Structure 1
């Protein structure tokens, strides 16, 4: 089984904000894989489908970002999913707008959603796709920046990042994550 988690905040207020790029990419994957997110369990909405020999689950926590681990851990326990079978997609202030980075492990880097996952999983050792949203302009509070929508000039870069991330997920369904990292980084 492969579990793909996109981090974000639930509700219309947060749709298509920088902090919700994980949700946006899950939606894109759902569309590409014809895998509707039509189930709910453990504070998350998800969809599942067998693709080839692999069962694939796309998941969006319905907790707020800072509590993402509360949705992901019970889901992993219930379905007996290992950390190697998990990929988490999230926004990253430390990468330029539209840049993606795949990693097998690492610290939270100040990201509260990842902090929650690390706390609930008990490890930093899980696959991730970091999607660059850049830094706010000097003086702009980070919280306002991440909860805002993209500027017009950022849209093409973010669309490209979302597409590349979705393609990386599709590749991971057939290849080891390390191989996918080498292709997409």
Structure 2
């Protein structure tokens, strides 16, 4: 069984001094993750952030690629001397016992490759203002030697109903100041985001004061119940799934 390692930086964006507000959902999610892994938080002055670390072992399985068929040429085989076998003479193909199809026929199962992945997770809560929080993320990524493709940023999304989760692999910040800051300080858009729906203001107006008042407002008790039911556990599972995707770096 092969063994591999991977290190992910999981960032929760929010306003550290305004706990419980809608704009703080990113930090609330990483708090739930740290609790899930029983990882204590500590302050890292050089990064201007709170940090927690966890390690988990995950078994990954994927289908084995079929072994390449060996090409046989008449001059290199016994057929050159004795002629083709009856099966080949009638146009049938000789069985390839080394292929996955042969194993499937013999055992009823396809061959798989099993890998044990040691997944290290560093959780980060920037202590800076939202619009400059990317500097904490870039310092942590630099010091840990983590590429942008192994960074996952969790943030609020006003365009989705409360509790809805959506991953985005790259692209623009869609007006989110924390994501804008991460793009600026990392120098790239190529990092994953987990957008957590916080719902929309009760009025149709998108005036800046209306939006600010909504996202900086505290979650209502019913909304907190929805987050506990729809977000925390599911977000943790989805982050593990994305982090262990063999198609990612």
Distance 1:177 1:29, change over 3 A: farther
Instruction: Name the CA distance, whole Å, in 2 between partners of 1:48 and 1:37.
Output: 8
Instruction: Give SS of 1:81's match.
Output: coil
User: In 2, are the aligned partners of 1:6 and 1:89 still within 8 Å (CA)?
Assistant: yes
Aligned counterpart in structure 1 of residue 182 of structure 2, from 101, 117, 130: 117
Once residues 239 and 34 of structure 2 are traced to their aligned partners in structure 1, the CA distance between those partners, rounded to angstroms, is 11
**Does 2:48 correspond to 1:43?**
yes
- Aligned pair 1:60/2:125, yes or no? yes
Q: Structure 1 regions of 5+ residues with no counterpart? A: 179-185
What TM-score does the superposition give when structure 2 sets the normalisation length?
Answer: 0.66
Q: Are residues 26 and 135 of structure 1, via their aligned partners in 2, closer, same or farther at CA, if it must alter by over 3 Å?
A: same
Q: Alignment length, in residue pairs?
A: 176
Change (3 A) 1:15 1:109: same
Q: CA RMSD in A?
A: 1.8
Residue 47 of structure 1 aligns to a residue whose secondary structure is: strand
Q: 1:147 corresponds to which residue?
A: 216
Pick the structure with more helix per residue.
1
Of 3, 12, 15, which aligns to 1:9?
Answer: 15
Structure-2 residue corresponding to 1:181: none
Q: 2:144 aligns with which of 66, 71, 79?
A: 79
Q: Distance in 1 between matches of 2:160 and 2:247?
A: 20
Distance 1:58 1:19, change over 3 A: same
Which position in structure 2 is the counterpart of 1:171? Answer: 241
Could you tell me how far 1:173 is from its partner in structure 2? 4.3
Instruction: State the Cα deviation string for residues 91-110 of structure 1 (Å, max 9, x = none).
Output: 01111111110111121111
- From 5, 21, 24, the equivalent of 1:20 is 24
Alignment check: 8 A CA contact 1:38 1:45 kept: yes
Q: Distance in 1 between matches of 2:35 and 2:134?
A: 25
Partner of 2:162: 97
